[in-house]
Structure 1
Amino acid sequence: MRKLAFILILILCATLVFAGCGTEKKSKQLKAAFVYVGPIGDAGWTFAHNEGRKALEAIGLQTNAVESVPEGAEAERVITQFASAGYDVIFTTSFGYMDTTIKVAEKFPKVVFGHCSGYKRAKNVFTYFGKIEQPKYLAGMIAGKMTKTNKIGYVAPVQIPEVIRLINAFALGARSVNPSAEVRIVWTGTWVDPILEMEAANALIDAGCDIIATGADSAAPMQAAEKKGLYSFGYDSDARDKAPNSFLTAPIWDWSVVYKDVIEKIKAGFTDWENLDYWKGLESGVVKLAPYSNLVPLDIQEMVNARAEELKNNDDIFVGPIKNQDGVVKVPEAVKMTDRELLSFNWFVDGVIGTLK
C-alpha cells in the first residue's frame, strides 16, 4: 500500500508540474516596444504616445521605449535592436519611420510592427492613425467664432498629406461659421523645434493673426500667443498648463484605444496584419477635443458639441462643394472625398493663405 501511495504521489506531482508549465506558456507576458521621434516631455505628440504605452503597463505588459530617435540609420538600429531582443510588437510612431519599419520587418517575420500615420503595410506590419481632422475642424469652428481680425495663424510642421489635411479641416471648420476667416500658414519644416515654432507664431501675430493654432509638437506657439494676450489652441495632448491664459482647447489623442486593441488581437491569434489600418474618429475615443477652458463662451461650446455629435454619427467634413485656394471647385456638390484622396491631399482649400512646394 505504501508503495502504491508513493507512486500515486509521484504521478500527482508530475501532473502538477506539467500543468504549471502549460499555464506558464499560456500566460506568457507580452512585450511591446515604442520608438519615438521626439522627447517624451510633458506635452505633445510623443507624450501622448507614451501615455498609451503606460496604459499597457497598467494592464500587465512589459514595455520599453526610446525617445528622440532620428529617422534613417539610427531608427533602423533601434528598431532592429528591439526586434532582436524578443519584443512581440514594436510601434514606430512617426511618418518618417515608414520605410525603415518595412525594411526591418522583413527580417523579423514573427514580430508584429505597427507604423503610425503611414500607408505601407506588409504581412507583419499594420498601420494606425485616427481622424484627428474631426477635432481639428471643431477647433476651427471655435477660432472662426472668436477671431476679431478674421486672421487665424497656424504653425505647420512638415509638408505631407496628413498635415495638409489637418490644416484644411481646421480652415473648413473656421469658414463654416465665419466665411470671412482666413487661416495663415507658416512652415517650420520639422516636427518639433520650440525656437522655430515660437518664431513662426510671432511672425503670424505680426501679420495680424489674433488666434494661434499649431500642428507642431511643442507648446511654444501657445506661449507666444499668451505673451501677446491672444488666444491659442494646443495639439496632441492637453497642455493648458503651458499657457493657461491663452489656451482654448486642443485636438488630442488617446492612443491607449489602439494599443490595447492590438494587444488583444495578438492574444487572440490575429494574423491578418497586412490588411489592418486603424483610422477611426471621435466615436472611438482615439481622438477628441480637450475640455474647453473658461475662455470659450458657453454658446460656442454648445454649438461645437452639437457638431461633434453629428461627426460621431458618421457625418463628414470633407463633402463638396469644396474649392481650392484659387476658387476652383475640387470637390463637387454633395460628393464625399475618398480615403485615398484624403491620404494624398496636396492642395489647400479656399481660405488658407500659404504655399506648398
Structure 2
Amino acid sequence: MNNKTLNTLLRGLVLAMGLGASLGASAADPLKVGFVYVGPVGDHGWTYQHELGRRELVEHFGDKVKTSFVENVAEGADAERVIRNMAKDGYDLVFTTSFGFMNPTAKVAKQFPKVTFEHATGYKQDKNLGTYLSRSYEGRYVGGYLAAKMTRSHKIGYIASFPIPEVIRDINSIQLALNKYDPQAELKVMWVNTWFDPGKEADAANALIDQGVDVLFQHTDSPAPIQAAERRGVYAVGYASDMQHFGPKTVLTSIVNDWGPHYIKSTQAVMDGTWKPQDFWGGLAEETVVLPLNQDVLPADVQAEASRIIADIRSGVFHPFTGPIKDQSGKERFAAGVKASNADLASMDYYVEGLKADLPK
C-alpha cells in the first residue's frame, strides 16, 4: 500500500468516526472563564458587583465564552483548592476577587502556566498573573466632603473589614477630606474583621451611632449598616453597589464598582492572544468607580461642589493624595505638590494626620 492510499484511508476513517467534525469544532470552543467570590452573589455589595460584571461579560460575548463562579470561598486553603480545581478543569481565564486570595492565586498560577489569572486588589504578578482594583479612595474623598457638609455632630463612623492597604487608604482619603472641609470632625473607626457578616456589620453600625456618629461609612459588603442608619435617622455612604434603595433617606452616595468593562477587555485580550500581566487601577476616569448622588437628600450647592470635585479627579486636575500630607506622628509622607504613586498607595500602612484612632497591627 503506497502513502497516498494510506492517507486516503486514514481520512476516511476520521470522517467515519465523526472526528473531523469534533476537531473542527475545537477551534471554535468557547473560552472558559471562572470567577472565585469571597461572599455570596446576593450580598448586594462587593461580590454582587463582580457577579454583575460576569453577567455583562456573558451578554457581551454570548456563546464565545462559558463562565462559572464559586461563591462564599474562604480565604486561605479553601481558596487554593477552588482555584486549582478551575485550572485543572480546563479554564482559560480565572478571576479571583478578594485580597486574601492573593497568595493562593500566585501559587496556582505557577503550577498552571498556560492558564491566565487575574487577582483583585493584590500586588503579586507573574507571567500569567495580573492584578486589578478600583481607585475607591477617589470616591471616599468625595464621600468625606459630603460627610463634612451633612454632619451635625461632627462625628463620622467607618466600619472597617481588615487593616490592609486598600482599607487604610480609603480611611485616610476620608480623613483628608475632613481635614479640609470640617477640621473639627472626628472619624471613628471600628474593625469587624470580616468582609460579610450582616449581624456584625449591623452591631458595629449601631455601636457607632450610639457614640454620636451621624454619617456612616463601611468597607464591608452587606447593606446592614445602611439599613441600621435608615432606621435610626443618620446618613450613610454605600459601598461597592448603589445602596440607595436600602436607605432612600439615608444614603448620600455610594462608591459603586463597575467591573464589567475590565472583564470584557481582559477576556478579549486572552482570546486575541495579546494579554499581558498588568496592574490595572480603575477610578472615576475609567468609570470603574461611579458615584450616584442622592438628589433627594443633598442640597443643590453640596451636589454642585461634589460634582466639581468628581470632575477634577476624573480629569486629573486633583488627586486626593497630594502633599503636603503628614501621618499621625507628624512625619511628612508627601511634600507639597507631590502626588502619591500607585506603589505608595498599594503599600499604605499608616494613618494620616487628624485620625485619632489606633491602627491595628
TM over 0.5: yes
| AA matched with 1:207 | Q
Contact 1:254 1:285 (C-alpha < 8 Å) held by counterparts: yes
CA distance in 2, matches of 1:74, 1:328: 41
Match of 2:107 among 103, 107, 114: 103
CA RMSD of aligned residues (A): 2.2
Task: Quote how far apart the aligned CAs of 1:223 are.
Answer: 1.5
Contact 2:293 2:303 (C-alpha < 8 Å) held by counterparts: no
Task: Quote how far apart the aligned CAs of 1:23 are.
Answer: 7.2
Q: Does 1:73 align with 2:74?
A: no
Report the counterpart of residue 315 of structure 2 in structure 1: 313
CA distance in 2, matches of 1:30, 1:242: 37
What is the TM-score of this pair, normalised by structure 2?
0.89
Cα shift readout 1:2-27 (whole Å, capped 9, x = no counterpart): xxxxxxxxxxxx9xx99988974554
Report the counterpart of residue 296 of structure 1 in structure 2: 298
Cα shift readout 1:218-255 (whole Å, capped 9, x = no counterpart): 11111221121111111000122222221111101000
Report the counterpart of residue 36 of structure 1 in structure 2: 37
What is the TM-score of this pair, normalised by structure 1?
0.90
| AA matched with 2:119 | H
CA distance in 2, matches of 1:306, 1:115: 33
Report the counterpart of residue 283 of structure 1 in structure 2: 285
Report the counterpart of residue 198 of structure 1 in structure 2: 202
**Aligned in 2, Cα 1:339/1:42: closer, same or farther, shift over 3 Å?**
closer
Q: Which ranges of structure 1 fall in alignment gaps of 5 or more residues? A: 1-13
Report the counterpart of residue 8 of structure 1 in structure 2: none
User: Secondary structure, in 3 states, of the residue corresponding to 1:64?
Assistant: strand
Contact 2:226 2:243 (C-alpha < 8 Å) held by counterparts: no
Report the counterpart of residue 4 of structure 1 in structure 2: none
CA distance in 2, matches of 1:118, 1:57: 25
**Aligned in 2, Cα 1:46/1:293: closer, same or farther, shift over 3 Å?**
farther
User: Secondary structure, in 3 states, of the residue corresponding to 2:238?
Assistant: coil
User: Secondary structure, in 3 states, of the residue corresponding to 1:249?
Assistant: strand
CA distance in 2, matches of 1:232, 1:255: 23
**Aligned in 2, Cα 1:297/1:19: closer, same or farther, shift over 3 Å?**
farther
Contact 1:38 1:68 (C-alpha < 8 Å) held by counterparts: yes
Contact 1:185 1:353 (C-alpha < 8 Å) held by counterparts: no
Task: Quote how far apart the aligned CAs of 1:175 are.
Answer: 2.9
Mapping of residues 56-95 of structure 1, within 5 Å: 56-59=57-60, 60=62, 61-95=65-99
Match of 2:119 among 101, 115, 118: 115
Task: Quote how far apart the aligned CAs of 1:350 are.
Answer: 2.3
Task: Quote how far apart the aligned CAs of 1:81 are.
Answer: 1.2
Report the counterpart of residue 255 of structure 1 in structure 2: 259
Report the counterpart of residue 329 of structure 1 in structure 2: 332
User: Secondary structure, in 3 states, of the residue corresponding to 2:256?
Assistant: strand
User: Secondary structure, in 3 states, of the residue corresponding to 1:264?
Assistant: helix
Report the counterpart of residue 7 of structure 2 in structure 1: none
Cα shift readout 1:166-189 (whole Å, capped 9, x = no counterpart): 111122223322222221111101
Contact 1:156 1:216 (C-alpha < 8 Å) held by counterparts: yes
Match of 2:345 among 342, 345, 349: 342
CA distance in 2, matches of 1:116, 1:23: 36
User: Secondary structure, in 3 states, of the residue corresponding to 2:323?
Assistant: coil
CA distance in 2, matches of 1:83, 1:153: 41
Report the counterpart of residue 155 of structure 2 in structure 1: 151
Task: Quote how far apart the aligned CAs of 1:272 are.
Answer: 2.6
CA distance in 1, matches of 2:126, 2:75: 20
| AA matched with 1:99 | N
Q: Does 1:237 align with 2:241?
A: yes
Alignment identity in percent? 41
CA distance in 2, matches of 1:19, 1:292: 59
Task: Quote how far apart the aligned CAs of 1:75 are.
Answer: 1.0
Contact 1:143 1:152 (C-alpha < 8 Å) held by counterparts: yes
Task: Quote how far apart the aligned CAs of 1:126 are.
Answer: 0.5
Match of 1:224 among 222, 225, 228: 228
Report the counterpart of residue 7 of structure 1 in structure 2: none
Mapping of residues 49-60 of structure 1, within 5 Å: 49-59=50-60, 60=62
User: Secondary structure, in 3 states, of the residue corresponding to 1:217?
Assistant: coil
Contact 1:325 1:349 (C-alpha < 8 Å) held by counterparts: yes
User: Secondary structure, in 3 states, of the residue corresponding to 2:245?
Assistant: helix
CA distance in 1, matches of 2:110, 2:271: 22
| AA matched with 1:128 | Y
Cα shift readout 1:292-316 (whole Å, capped 9, x = no counterpart): 2411111111101111111111131
CA distance in 2, matches of 1:240, 1:308: 19
Cα shift readout 1:179-225 (whole Å, capped 9, x = no counterpart): 22221111101111111111211221121111111111111111221
**Aligned in 2, Cα 1:19/1:172: closer, same or farther, shift over 3 Å?**
farther
